[in-house]
Structure 1
Amino acid sequence: MNELEGRIQAILDAALDAAFSHVRHGGDHESRKLVAARLLDAAQSGMTTLDELTSVGRRALIDLKARSRA
C-alpha cells in the first residue's frame, strides 16, 4: 500500500466511525459493511476528504435505517 492509499484508507475508517458515532455499540456488522461499501464507492468516484466521506456515510446510514423501517 502506498502513502496515498494509506491516507485514503485512514480517512475511510474515520468516516465510517464518524457515521456510527452515535449508534449504540458502533452498529452491527452488516450495517457497517453496507455503509463501508457506499464510502468506498464515493472514494473511488473522487470524494476523498473526511468531510465529504463523513457526509456520505451518515447519509448511507440514514438511508439504511429508512429502508429497515419500511
Structure 2
Amino acid sequence: MITDTFDRRTIAKMEVALERACLLLPTGSDKHNARRIIASKIIECAHRGDAALSRLTEVGYAAAVQLNCFGQSVRKKEAAN
C-alpha cells in the first residue's frame, strides 16, 4: 500500500501534484482512468527518490499533456471515420 511506502509529507506532495495535473484534463468519462495514469507516473517519480513538489508536479503535468494529446488524436481519427 502507498501509505506503507511513503511518509505523510511525501503523500501530501503527491496529492497536490495530482490535483494540479488533473486541472489540465478535460471533463468526461475517461477522467478517472486518466487520474490513475497520472498518479502512477507521480508514484514512479517518488519511488525513484525525486519527491520534490516541483518535480512531482512536472511529471504529473507531462503525463496529463501526453494523455490530452493522445486523446485528441484518437478523437480526430474517430471523427474522420
By the TM > 0.5 criterion, same fold? yes
Q: Does 1:21 align with 2:20?
A: no
The runs of at least 4 aligned residues of structure 1 exceeding 3 Å deviation read 22-25
1:53 aligned residue: 56
Q: 1:24 to 1:63 in 2, by over 3 A?
A: closer
**Is this contact kept in 1: 2:13–2:53, CA < 8 A?**
yes
Which residue identity lines up with residue 12 of structure 2 in the other structure?
A: A
Q: Please, which runs of 5 or more residues in structure 1 have no aligned partner?
A: none
Cα distance in 1 between the residues matched to 2:23 and 2:71: 19
Q: 1:68 to 1:23 in 2, by over 3 A?
A: closer
Q: Please, which runs of 5 or more residues in structure 2 have no aligned partner?
A: 74-81
Cα distance in 1 between the residues matched to 2:23 and 2:64: 11
Q: Computing the radius of gyration over CA atoms, which structure comes out larger, 1 or 2?
A: 2
Cα distance in 2 between the residues matched to 1:64 and 1:32: 10
Which residue identity lines up with residue 7 of structure 1 in the other structure?
A: R
Report the aligned-residue RMSD: 2.0
Cα distance in 1 between the residues matched to 2:49 and 2:66: 21
Where in structure 2 are the equivalents of 1:56-67 lying within 5 Å?
56-67=59-70
How many Å apart are 1:7 and its aligned residue? 0.8
TM-score, scaled relative to structure 1? 0.82
TM-score, scaled relative to structure 2? 0.72
Q: 2:36 aligns with which of 33, 36, 46?
A: 33
Which residue identity lines up with residue 32 of structure 1 in the other structure?
A: R
1:8 aligned residue: 10
1:44 aligned residue: 47
